[in-house]
Chains A and B, each alone.
Chain A
Amino acid sequence: DAGVTQSPTHLIKTRGQQVTLRCSPKSGHDTVSWYQQALGQGPQFIFQYYEEEERQRGNFPDRFSGHQFPNYSSELNVNALLLGDSALYLCASTRTASSYNSPLHFGNGTRLTVT
């Protein structure tokens, strides 16, 4: 049973460019959340997708956008990259119907470096 998978594992982009990160949730999960983790910090919530809609959003600018597909996989898009966007981007999934007793399952992240 595959867990949460993310691609790519590493990415290097130039300031001003756009990037797309991908996530496949754990089998049986329908809700996907994205987190940004700067070096030495805890992960920070970006947004959550359920039923192909953004359900909740953290304190991130509109340059950060996402999408969820009918198969529950998700993409995170970041436009106009800044040096400060360099971080580990984590995807987490859960099953909404049993959310009260269902922990989040995290992928191992995509390491984004902006130069």
Chain B
Amino acid sequence: DAKTTQPNSMESNEEEPVHLPCNHSTISGTDYIHWYRQLPSQGPEYVIHGLTSNVNNRMASLAIAEDRKSSTLILHRATLRDAAVYYCILRDRDPLGNYGGSQGNLIFGKGTKLSVKP
């Protein structure tokens, strides 16, 4: 699996937008970009994923660069509850739309620790 690079930590003020960057210069054409986050004392939780187009859901937005070598997770209004470690992960998907033999295997880096100040 291709690797991702994220800043170790970021700070944000409550109710302001947060842009969390991720570099993945060796991404392949079949790699999906996934984001998970881990709140203190909890297991990771899924945030969002995308392939080429920007994606939105109730939690966040994902902006993907045209060359797909980088992406940005956007939290539109940070709350104290958004303080967590955010992981950017690449998952390879085969032409049939499955994750093949690696569907259970996420390769986590160290992620970005987001602090939110009141």
Interface size class of B (residues with CB under 8 A): 20 to 34
Residues of A within 8 A of B110 (CB): 40-42
CB within 8 Å for A100 and B99 given contacts A45-B107, A56-B104, A94-B104 = yes
Judged by a CB distance under 8 angstroms, whether B24 is at the interface is no
- Across the interface, do B45 and A92 meet the contact criterion of CB distance under 8 Å? no
Whether the pair A100, B104 counts as a contact (CB closer than 8 A) is no
Q: How large is the interface on A (under 10, 10 to 19, 20 to 34, 35 or more residues)?
A: 20 to 34
Which of B13-21, B36-44, B60-68, B75-83 faces chain A? B36-44
A92's partner among B43, B97, B109, B111 (CB-CB below 8 A) is: B43
Can you name the residue of chain A whose Cβ is closest to the Cβ of B43? A106
Task: Determine the chain B residues whose CB is within 8 A of the CB of A96 once the complex forms.
Answer: 103
Contact, CB under 8 Å: B93 / A100: yes
Residues of A within 8 A of B111 (CB): 42
> How far apart sit A96 and B42, CA to CA, in the bound complex (Å)?
24
Closest A residue by C-beta to B45: A106
CB of A109 within 8 A of CB of B43, answer yes
Seen from chain A, the residues whose Cβ lies within 8 Å of a Cβ on chain B are 4, 31-33, 35, 40-45, 48, 50, 55-56, 58, 90, 92, 94, 96, 99-101, 103-109
